Amino acid sequence: MTRILIADDNQANAELLEAHLDGSGLETRIAVNGEQTLQLAKDWPADVVLLDIMMPKLSGFEVCKRLRADGATKDIGVLMVTALDRATDVERAVEVGTDDFLTKPINKAELLHRIRAIVAARAAASPIERGLAYLRGVQQGV
């Protein structure tokens, strides 16, 4: 079963994401801050982290950077889900290693589509192949 770690300090937002995923065959857990997200990512290896950027203790940017730097978590898919939508936010997310970036409010179908594409792309051998596989998955509606 595909595991999704929802990282959002706003309980209502986290519960909404969880409700979007309910019934889709995905197993979910919720983390409420950056430190808890990193710990859960190690203790409960997720396939994808839905990562809010503005969280206490560690920002989503820092969490993503640390996930990518740790051999145990570097291959977890990261989908940043945030209210931030400036070009500089997207650029920074890419710099720290996110797989993709969705701006709130989230469309359920789009969220599930992106998660499936990230999971399918994780099987590719190199980061470049993963990126290309993800783009193909998004285009083809995996």
> 74 lies in a domain?
yes
Domain enclosing residue 53, as ranges: 2-107
CA 4 to chain centre: 8
Could you tell me the pLDDT band of residue 142, with boundaries at 50, 70 and 90?
low
Q: Does residue 120 lie within any of the structural domains?
A: no
Q: How many domains does the chain have?
A: 1
Q: Residue 18 corresponds to which tokens in the numbers above? A: 């969880």
Residue 43 φ/ψ region, left for φ over 0, alpha for ψ in the -120 to 50 degree band, beta for the rest: alpha
Residue 115 resides in a domain: no
Is 29 part of any domain? yes
**Does any domain span residue 28?**
yes
Let me know: does 25 contact 1? Beta carbons within 8 Å.
yes
Residue 37's CATH number: 3.40.50.2300
Burial class (CB in 10 A: 0-12, 13-18, 19+), 18: middle
Average model confidence (pLDDT) across the chain: 92
Among left, alpha and beta (phi > 0; psi -120 to 50; other), residue 39 is: alpha
**Within a domain: residue 35?**
yes
10 Å Cβ neighbour count for 108? Answer: 13
Considering the entire predicted model, what is its pTM? 0.90
Q: What's the pLDDT tens digit per position in 51-100? A: 999 998 899 999 999 999 999 999 999 999 988 878 888 889 989 999 99
Asked if the structure places residue 39 within a domain, the reply is yes
The reply to whether 32 falls in a domain is: yes
| Neighbouring-strand partners of residue 2 | 26
- Mean pLDDT confidence for 117-137: 83
| pLDDT category of residue 28 using cuts at 50, 70 and 90 | very high
